Amino acid sequence: MNYYDINSLNQSIHGTLSSLMPEGLAITLEGIAVGLLIIVLYALLAIVLIYMERRVCAAFQCRIGPNRVGGRGGLLQVPADVLKILTKEIISLRHADRFLYNLAPFLVILASIFSFACLPWNQGAEILRMDIGIFFVLAASSIGVLGILLAGWSSNSKYTVIGAVRSGAMIISYELSIGLTVLTMVLLSGTMDIQEIVMEQEHLWNIFRGHIPALLAFCVYLIAGNAEANRGPFDLAEAEQELTAGYHTEYSGMHFGFFYLAEYLNLFITAGIASTLFLGGWMPFHIPGLDGLNAVMDWIPGVVWFVGKTFAVVFLLMWIRWTFPRLRIDQVLTLEWKYLMPLSLVIVLLMTLCVIFGLVL
C-alpha cells in the first residue's frame, strides 16, 4: 500500500484548471509547468552530482576536495563553476561545419531530457508514461550517440574525430547488452510500461524475484550502463593523455556545459533505470510474511525510496570509476563482444525458462 499516491492530487489540479479555463489551455499550462519542473530538476541534480563526484573522488584519492568557495565544505564551488561556464564566450571555429557543430550539444541534451522524463519518481509522479515506456527510453537515449558523432566530425579536428569514433563504437556495442538485460526484466515483469514494472515489485524486488539470472543481469547492466555513459574505466572517448578532451575538445561556454551536464544526468538516468528495473523503483522494501515491517516501510514516501536507491547506485558507479584504471579501446570492445553479450543472451534464456516453469517468486 502506498500512502503517498499523488494521482488524486494530479486529477484535482487538472479538474480545477479545467473549471477555470478551456481544457486545451489547461493542458498547455500543465505542460509548461512540467517542462519547467524538468529543467529545474535537471539543473539541481547536475549540481548535486558534480559536487558528489568531487567528494567521492577526493575520498578515494585521500584528498580534501572542494574546501574554499562556500566554506570548508566547498558547497558553492559548483554554482561558481556554473556561473563561470555561463559567462564564457562560445568560440566559433573557422573550418567547422557550423550548423552541425551547433546542433550536436542540443541533440545530446535532448536525448538526456527525454530519458530523464521517463523516470518514475513516485506513484502518479511519472512525467512521460506509455505502454512501451522502457523501449522509448532505449530509443531516446540512442539519440545521444548521433550528437557525439556529429560533435566530433563537425569540429574538423583529428582529436575530436578519434574521440567520436571511439565513443560511437563503444556506445553502440554496449547498447546490445543493455537492451538484453532490459529484455530480461521485461520477461520477468510481463510488460514494458515502466510504472507497471514497478507495481510488479510490490511484494518483492525483481533482483530477488528473478533469482540468479536477475542478479547477473543487474551486474551486466551496471557495467554496460557505465560504458554507455562514457564514464571510467570506459572513458576512452575523453582520454586526456591522448585526445585532450575527446569529441568536445573544440567546444566552449555553454556548448561545453551541455556535454558536461549530459554526462552527469546520464549517470543519474542509468542509476534510475537500474533502481526501477531491479530494485523496485519507488516501491518500499518488503519481506513476505513480515506484515509489521512492511507496514512501517509503506510510511516512507515513494520518492524517498527512489532517490535513495538511485543515489546508492550512483555511488557504486562512482566507486567503480575511481577504482579501476582506464581500459584500452580493444579491451573495451573485447569485454562486450566476447563476454558481456554472450552472457546477456544466456541470461535471457535462463529468465525465459524461469518464467515458463513458474520459478519466479
> What are the sequence ranges of the domains in the chain?
12-87, 99-356
**What is the model's pLDDT at position 220?**
95
Angle at 135 between CA 104 and CA 33, to 5 degrees: 65
**What is the model's pLDDT at position 240?**
62
**What is the model's pLDDT at position 244?**
67
* 284 phi and psi angles, rounded to 5 deg: -70, 165
Burial of 151 by CB count in 10 Å (0-12 exposed, 13-18 middle, 19+ buried)? Answer: buried
Low-confidence ranges of the chain (pLDDT < 50): none
What whole-number distance in Å separates Cα of residue 311 and Cα of residue 176?
25
**What is the model's pLDDT at position 70?**
79
What whole-number distance in Å separates Cα of residue 206 and Cα of residue 360?
9
Q: Residue 341 is inside which H or E element, if any?
A: helix 341-356
**What is the model's pLDDT at position 352?**
93
**What is the model's pLDDT at position 342?**
94
